[in-house]
Structure 1
Amino acid sequence: MMSYFSEENSAEIVNGRIGSAALPRPAEVMSALVRHLHAFASEVHLTQKEWELGVEFLTRAGHLCSDERQEFILLSDTLGFSMLVDAINNRRPPGATENTVFGPFHVANAPLRTMGDTISLDGKGESCLFEGMVLDLEGNPIMGACLDVWSDNADGFYDVQQPGIQPKWNNRGRFITQADGCYSFVGIRPVSYPIPDDGPVGQLLALLGRHPYRPAHMHFLVTADGFQKLVTHIFVGDDPYLTSDTVFGVKQSLIAPFSRVENGQTAWRAPFDFVLVAA
Structure 2
Amino acid sequence: MRSMTENELTDVVVERYRATPDARLQEILLSLIRHAHAFVRDVRLTETEWMKGVEFLTATGHMCDDKRQEMILLSDNLGISALVNMVSAGVPEGATETTVLGPFYVPNSPQRAWGESILLRDSDEIPLIVHGRVVDEDGTPLPGAGIEVWQTDSNGMYDIQDSSQPEDNLRGHYTANEEGRFLIRSIRPTSYPIPTDGPVGVLLRATNRHPFRPAHLHAIVTAPGHQPLTTHLFDAEDKYLDSDVVFAVKESLIRKFTKNEDPGAAERFGLSGPFWELDNDFVLSKARS
TM-score bucket (shorter structure):
over 0.9
Alpha-carbon distance between aligned partners in 2 of 1:64 and 1:19, rounded to the nearest angstrom? 34
User: Equivalent residue for 1:274?
Assistant: 282
Alpha-carbon distance between aligned partners in 2 of 1:140 and 1:66, rounded to the nearest angstrom? 41
Deviation at 1:223, TM superposition (A): 0.9
Give the structure-1-normalised TM-score: 0.92
Conserved 8 A contact 2:69-2:104? no
Alpha-carbon distance between aligned partners in 1 of 2:229 and 2:242, rounded to the nearest angstrom? 23
> Equivalent residue of 2:141, what SS?
coil
Q: Which runs of 4+ in 1 moved over 4 A?
A: none
Where in structure 1 are there 5+ consecutive unaligned residues?
none
User: Equivalent residue for 2:92?
Assistant: 93
Are residues 1:151 and 2:116 paired?
no
Matches within 5 A, 1:116-155: 116-124=115-123, 125-155=125-155
Deviation at 1:239, TM superposition (A): 0.7
Alpha-carbon distance between aligned partners in 1 of 2:129 and 2:173, rounded to the nearest angstrom? 15
Conserved 8 A contact 2:73-2:102? no
Deviation at 1:126, TM superposition (A): 3.4
From the superposition, tell whether residues 278 and 20 of structure 1 become closer, same or farther in structure 2 (CA, over 3 Å): closer
Conserved 8 A contact 1:256-1:271? no
Counterpart residue identity of residue 162, structure 1: D
Question: Which piece of structure 1 moves more, 224-233 or 167-176?
Answer: 167-176
Cα distance per residue 1:11-43 (max 9 Å; x no partner): 212212225364332222111111111111111
Matches within 5 A, 1:178-257: 178-257=177-256
Deviation at 1:161, TM superposition (A): 1.7
> Equivalent residue of 1:170, what SS?
coil
Conserved 8 A contact 1:128-1:266? no
Where in structure 2 are there 5+ consecutive unaligned residues?
267-272
Give the alignment's Cα RMSD to 1 decimal. Answer: 1.9
> Equivalent residue of 2:19, what SS?
coil
Alpha-carbon distance between aligned partners in 2 of 1:250 and 1:173, rounded to the nearest angstrom? 23
Cα distance per residue 1:92-136 (max 9 Å; x no partner): 110000111112222333232222222212234432111111111
Question: Which piece of structure 1 moves more, 43-52 or 215-224?
Answer: 43-52
Are residues 1:84 and 2:83 paired?
yes
User: Equivalent residue for 1:20?
Assistant: 19
From the superposition, tell whether residues 210 and 224 of structure 1 become closer, same or farther in structure 2 (CA, over 3 Å): same
> Equivalent residue of 1:248, what SS?
coil
